[in-house]
Structure 1
Amino acid sequence: MISTPRLRLEPASATAAAQLAHGGDGGWSWLGGGPEDGTRGMAGIVTRAAEVGWHRPPWGLYVVVHPADGLAIGSVGFHGPPDSTGTVEIGYDLVPEARGFGLATEAAHALTRYAFTHPVVRGVLALTRPDNTASQRVLLRAGFLRTADLDGLRRYRVDR
């Protein structure tokens, strides 16, 4: 588990990820009734990786929990283990009721700090659609810098 002043990032097991990917709650009580599509998509990545033997904890999905009430408010996670250059890609998603309070920034920053505790990690990457200005602001506040676009997506990166 990764803790911040306002959040707990709880690792989702492959079983919990499969439940989330297929419409379940993964064992958490969710603010607003359930996770958003981004969380379910990230859970699907973990599920597919586990099915083929590629899932390598801690490089998976973390459910973002608000400790004050114990409710899950979203997810943050790695798209996989570090690549051959030492780069990991992250993604994040919050339920609408939890947006606008700096929680996505806090979660992305915490996951990035955690990634850099592993010596093999040299950089953390995140991609956004050009119209997703809220996510771009999250990344900039979390210490990422915009780099060259990739396949029509905005690319942000922070290096060790």
Structure 2
Amino acid sequence: MVYQASYEAGRLVLRGARVTLREHTPEDAAAVADGESAGLEWIDGRPGEDSVGAATMTVRAMIAGHLGSPWGIFAVLRSSDGTALGSIGFHGPPSAPDGEVEIGYDLSPSARGAGWATDAVRVLVAWALARPEVHTVIATTDPANAPSQGVLTRAGFTRAPARGDLYAYRRDAAPVADPSSTDA
């Protein structure tokens, strides 16, 4: 997955071909948690219910000191015009020493079914797996959420053992070749 990473106004921005992921500042997350736009034009006029819920959890985690940049929440923007389509982000920083990080995502109803979630997951996962502290990205879905399971499969995830009542999926970093190896 080809993407460009930059910092703009103190926030991480990841640009893919069709989607741009713009990190929410703590102020942005608080605004979205209150159902406000955070300065974005949302496809359905305001952040969706799941984006509001994710922002609320992010704000609580930030206040508790469990979450910080860049391991928070991002707005999913349509690259062509900057319209906010939903949210994607991390449930927390990578765990040590196994390097596992969990992601979650959602789209506003009007943005679903057009490949935006798959593109957003691909960009976020490519960025995460390029970090030396990340070895595995995990995502969970409700067993009845076939569209989300399709997103993960298209983004290169494979099924993993269930986590409670949820289906789990994982994507591992590519193994790094040992330069001292004599295997050909």
TM-score range, shorter chain: over 0.9
Query: Partners in 2 of 1:30 and 1:123 — Cα distance?
Result: 31
Question: Which position in structure 2 is the counterpart of 1:132?
Answer: 145
Alignment of 1:145 with 2:158, yes or no, is yes
SS in 1 for 2:28: helix
1:23 shift after superposition:
1.5
5+ residue gaps, structure 2, are 1-12, 174-184
Contact conserved, 2:55 with 2:73, CA < 8 A, in 1?
yes
**Contiguous gaps of at least 5 residues in structure 1:** none
1:94-122 deviation per Cα after TM superposition (whole angstroms, max 9, x unaligned): 11111111110000011000101210101
Residue in 2 that maps onto 1:103: 116
CA contact (8 A) 1:42 1:79 kept: no
Matches of residues 3-14 of structure 1 in structure 2 within 5 Å? 3-14=15-26
> Tell me, what secondary structure is at the counterpart of 1:38?
helix
**Structure with the greater alpha carbon radius of gyration:** 2
Identity, in percent, stands at 43
Query: Which of 73, 77, 82 is residue 85 of structure 2 equivalent to?
Result: 73
**Equivalent in the alignment of 1:114:** 127
Relative contact order, higher structure (CA 8 A, sep 6+): 1
Whichever structure has more helix as a proportion of its residues is 1
CA RMSD of aligned residues (A): 1.0
Measure the CA separation in 2 of the matches of 1:105 and 1:159.
17
User: Matched residues in 2 for 1:115 and 1:25: separation?
Assistant: 26
Aligned amino acid, residue 37 of structure 1: E
Look up the match of 1:53: 65
TM-score when scaled to structure 1?
0.96
> Is 1:42–2:47 an aligned residue pair?
no
Q: Which moved more, 1:147-156 or 1:61-70?
A: 61-70
Given that residues 61 and 76 in structure 1 are in contact (C-alpha distance below 8 angstroms), is that contact kept between their aligned partners in structure 2? yes
Aligned to 2:100: 87
Which sits farther off after the overlay, 114-123 or 44-53? 44-53
In the alignment, residue 34 of structure 1 is paired with which amino acid? Answer: R
Number of the residue aligned with 2:10: none
Partner of 2:5: none
- The answer to whether the Cα contact below 8 Å between 1:87 and 1:122 also exists between their aligned partners in 2 is yes
**Does 2:136 align with 1:123?**
yes
Q: Which residue of 1 aligns with 2:76?
A: 64
Q: Hey, what's the Cα distance between the residues in 1 that align with 2:79 and 2:150?
A: 25
State TM-score, norm by structure 2: 0.84
Structure 1 stretches of 4+ moved >4 Å: none
Task: Report how many aligned residue pairs link the two structures.
Answer: 160
